Amino acid sequence: MANKSNGLETSDWARAPPPNRPFCERALKAIYDPDDNTFLGRTPKRWGIVFAFYGVFYAVLALMFAVCMAGLFSVLDDRKPTFILDSSLIGANPGVASRPRYVVFDAQNSTNFDAYINELQEFLQPYTKETWYMSKMKCTKDDNYGFPDSPCVFVKLNKIYSWMPEFFSATELPADMPEDLQEYIKVVSESERQKIWISCWDENKNTNETQIEYPWGRGLPGRFYPYLNQDGYLSPLLAVQITPPINTVVMIRCRAWAKNIIYNKSLKEPSGYVRLVMNIVDTTAVNSTDV
């Protein structure tokens, strides 16, 4: 037995539990252990290996990703989408958009609607060099785009690569086209009919308080189409001047008319029109009526 207890002190198979140390010391030791020369459990050499491994691994991963992306870009055309019209998800039915997207302001507070004016000015900035734009008299910066009494809204068609509109001829106008527009089309000359017509109306058709005017005419000229990502291409615009009743929420719907613009009046899957909210608040007007 005696030699056995002697063996206890020398042999390495008799392990002693690690001595208990206060928490701070243990924490410090976890960060740097002078005994094994380890930082956070690893020697500098081990850390080097770890970093080198992950460096190389992520580098290779990034490289592979980059190679793939390069491969992708090599098959892409800078000017022309891979898929156009129906083969693309964008389809061949351009959406209609408006600027501003909604018009809600306090007529008494000029800073309130100045934001709209600024937005429109910025939006129309590229157009100022266009001759057709310069000829317009109404709905320009000079009349503050009709603000605040009868603001102008600019309606445009979404650009779709190589999309060509199919124009209506005077004889085959659809039945649901508003009569005023039909009359307008029948009056204009043949060359003037090569247009995408726009018609706007108040969704609440019972009230005739909303006045809608088309100071720039009723159609977007067909000469702008097709869009082929030309340099300096600008979408045609149409100004619509709306004079809504004050202190009332008005929903304006503007529809674009061409044979290949499909109209779906559903709100969930809208197509062929744009909708905008208009609410001009005038506190003085309220007070005056009250009194």
Q: Give 182's contacts (C-beta < 8 A, 6+ positions apart).
A: 173
- Could you give the string, one character per residue 35-74, with x where binding to another protein holds by CB under 8 A and - elsewhere? -------------------x--xx--x--xx--xx-xxx-
Q: Does 226 bind another protein (CB under 8 A)?
A: no
Segment contacting another protein by CB under 8 A, of 103-111, 159-167, 180-188, 201-209: 159-167
- From the list 179, 183, 269, 290, which residue makes contact with another protein (rule: CB under 8 A)? 269
- Nearest Cα neighbor of 243 from 139, 162, 163 is 139
Cα separation values, 222 from 98, 182, 197, Å: 19, 18, 10
Q: Does 220 bind another protein (CB under 8 A)?
A: no
- From the list 160, 252, 261, 280, which residue makes contact with another protein (rule: CB under 8 A)? 160
Q: Is the dihedral of CA 283, 284, 289, 291 positive or negative?
A: positive
Q: Does 131 bind another protein (CB under 8 A)?
A: no
- From the list 2, 9, 10, 13, which residue makes contact with another protein (rule: CB under 8 A)? 13
Q: Does 23 bind another protein (CB under 8 A)?
A: no
CA–CA gap between residue 77 and residue 85 (Å, rounded): 16
- Could you give the string, one character per residue 91-110, with x where binding to another protein holds by CB under 8 A and - elsewhere? x--xxxx---xx--------
- Closer to another protein by CB, 243 or 271: give it: 271
- Structure tokens given for 66: 């980059």
Q: How far is the CB of 87 from another protein (least distance, A)?
A: 9
- Structure tokens given for 244: 């809504």
Amino acid at 63: L
DSSP output for 57-119: HHHHHHHHHHHHHHHHHHHS-SSS-SS-GGGSTT-SS--EEEESS-EEEETT-HHHHHHHHHH
Give the total of residues touching another protein (CB under 8 A).
48
What is the distance, to the nearest Å, from the Cα of residue 167 to the centroid of all Cα atoms in its chain?
Answer: 28
- Closer to another protein by CB, 4 or 205: give it: 4
Question: What's the half-sphere exposure (Cβ side, CA atoms, 13 Å) at 143?
Answer: 13
Q: Does 194 bind another protein (CB under 8 A)?
A: no
- Closer to another protein by CB, 100 or 146: give it: 100
- Nearest Cα neighbor of 126 from 240, 237, 232, 238 is 232
Chain residues that interact with another protein, rule: CB under 8 A: 1, 4, 7-8, 13-14, 54, 57-58, 61, 64-65, 68-69, 71-73, 75-76, 79-83, 88-91, 94-97, 101-102, 156, 158-161, 227, 229, 233, 267-271, 274
